[in-house]
Structure 1
């Protein structure tokens, strides 16, 4: 069997990617309670919000207020998604620790999600990098539809590698390769991970899967076998892109952590407290979430024989 990593690092994206498509808009106080529950579970990297137009994503209109309420904590990384230079300036002013610039791998998705082509976004990224670095703030990249576009179909791995190379030339090493609508197959995951390892070894990749077609944890497993050590996931399995059809269903954080712990892979997270956070999230959004471990409990969660026949 392929040797798996001894430790993986998880960025929780439920507060941003999860809440951005929920019908119920949470108050800043409710988001703060969920954030603290996730921090209590051991998370040290949270993508907490995005600085996008509040008319397009009203669920995250309180981005600055939430960051101010959380404050800066040593050892804690609070990330904010940004689509453009205006978003970058707002996020820097709100004292986000990391800016996550969202970039579409296809022009059609970029037009729907960002109102611009891939090249137009890359051109603006130059200015964002200068502005962020002058403020001492790191820039990461979230590369959308890296495994397939709901409008254009398959995205060739050569195109994804080419975009990652252009990103690297700007001095950015952390890139999240996102399966925005759950189109990734095990073979695609293996091919991209191998290409990154051999062609762009300086890139520090994270893989971000959606479980739209039931292959989210399969993607995680294949990525692990290729040595990928950073992943993004969402509490309770919430989330999805509001500007792409049928995008619902991030990989569920507590389900992934349960799988990893059963393979003796360390995460630094408490599964018990993650389940508590998922139940809180379910209560706050007022609907049943997709996570399985929050319903069934861990594998060795035993039951009383009373009432069994």
Structure 2
């Protein structure tokens, strides 16, 4: 079964002009978990002056129960980030670095080799606290500064012994410039190189290929995929990046066992309310679909599906 992780409260909020109060973030976490979303990314340990909407991440962690935190992930980039996260009660961290040096310097302030060299300490801290850690690779297809990324460079990082201990490998199409064939080819190679690891695909929808790329990743061996409500998101350090693939659109395409029409309508309503609060456009096509006048189609509000 394919697991979906909603990344609204991390990647989704990075470029919003308005900040969400901590209490509202906690409400959204609980609403999404109650609707059946298996996994969430709820914040980042990035410098608060650089990413102000995520400055209260550890306050969000403190407000959640251990059972809730078992289903939540935090973005980290240094061993110190990991130590702070687990000390606050976080259970799951994704250690992120960019395949391209130029983006790693812009995003994290060091080259890729320096991030790799620090990863064993991050792994030791996370596993020592009984948690889980992912290897998250940004710019796996293209870099906003250097252009196309050599897939062999991705494989060298994935096979580097310093990444051992990571339960998952996250492949991020940071700019949303990949095509389905490229995604499938890279996922297949990474899956073959790290068969013990779960492969996660993190797509953006800049060129309208978010759902297609995600389905290609799943067919090639990915078993977790990322999305954000309403297609929110983007990287503040990657010119040209737009929003994530919409959670609603991914769920409509994947149809997991836990989702029914009423649940999809509820997600669409939650998304619409959040985007209205933030003053952001809704990029989800499913949001339009559930509101269509199509009573014979079970996934619409007109058919009788009502938000829970």
Decide: shared fold, TM above 0.5: yes
Unaligned runs of 5+ in 1: 1-6, 305-309
Residue of structure 2 in register with 1:60 after alignment: 54
CA drift at 1:40:
2.0
* Cα distance between partner residues in 1 of 2:215 and 2:273: 28
| Distance across 2 between alignment mates of 1:142 and 1:26 | 25
Q: Match for residue 266 of structure 1?
A: 257
Q: 2-side partners of 1:129 and 1:303: how far apart?
A: 49
Alignment of 1:101-180 (within 5 A): 101-166=95-160, 169-180=163-174
- Distance in 2, Cα, partners of 1:302 & 1:20: 31
| Conservation of the 8 A alpha-carbon contact between 1:10 and 1:267 | no
Output aligned runs, 1:9-28, within 5 Å. Answer: 9-28=3-22
2:180 to 186, 208, 216: 186
**How far has the Cα of 1:273 moved from its partner?**
2.3
Higher relative contact order (CA 8 A, sep 6+): 1
CA distance in 2, matches of 1:287, 1:193: 32
The answer on 1:79 being equivalent to 2:77 is no
* 1:288 aligned residue: 281
State how 1:202-221 maps to structure 2 within 5 Å.
202-221=196-215
Cα distance change of structure 1 residues 96 and 247 upon mapping to structure 2, 3 Å threshold: same
What are the superposed Cα offsets for residues 179-207 of structure 1, whole Å, 9 maximum, x if unpaired? 00111112211211221233332231011
More divergent stretch after superposition (38-47 vs 21-30): 38-47
Aligned to 1:177, the other structure's residue is in SS state: strand
| Structure 2 portions without partners, runs of 5+ | 304-308
Q: Compute the TM-score of the two structures, normalised by the length of structure 2.
A: 0.90
1:245 aligns with 2:239: yes
Q: Partner residue of 1:307?
A: none
The CA RMSD over aligned residues, in Å, is 2.0
Question: CA distance change for structure 1 residues 111 and 49 in 2, over 3 Å: closer, same or farther?
Answer: same
Q: How much does 1:123 deviate?
A: 0.8
Give the drift of 1:167: 5.8
For normalisation by structure 1, the TM-score amounts to 0.90
- Work out the CA distance in 1 between the residues paired with 2:6 and 2:87: 23
The 3-state SS of whatever aligns with 1:287 is: coil
The 8 Å contact of residues 260 and 266 in structure 1, kept in 2 or not, is answered as no
How many pairs align?
295
Equivalent residue of 2:67, what SS?
Answer: coil
* Contact residue 211 and residue 251 of structure 1 kept, 8 A: yes
Alignment CA distance shift 1:127-1:100 (3 Å)? same
Could you give the per-residue CA deviations for residues 259-300 of structure 1, whole angstroms, max 9, x where no partner exists?
122xxx536573122112212221221222211211231772
Quote how far apart the aligned CAs of 1:224 are: 2.5
1:275 aligns with one of 254, 259, 268 = 268
Q: Residue 89 of structure 2 corresponds to which residue in structure 1?
A: 95
Residues 135/75 of structure 1: CA separation in 2 closer, same or farther (3 Å cut): closer
Q: Which residue of 1 aligns with 2:195?
A: 201
Question: Within 1, Cα distance between the matches of 2:197 and 2:4?
Answer: 17
Q: 1:49-107 deviations in whole A, cap 9, x for unaligned?
A: 01111111110111111111122216841111111122112111111110111111010
| Shift in CA distance, 71/64, structure 1 to aligned 2, threshold 3 Å | same
Residues 296 and 53 of structure 1: is their aligned pair in 2 closer, same or farther, counting only changes over 3 Å?
A: same
User: Secondary structure in 1 aligned to 2:152?
Assistant: helix
Deviation, structure 1 residue 131: 1.7
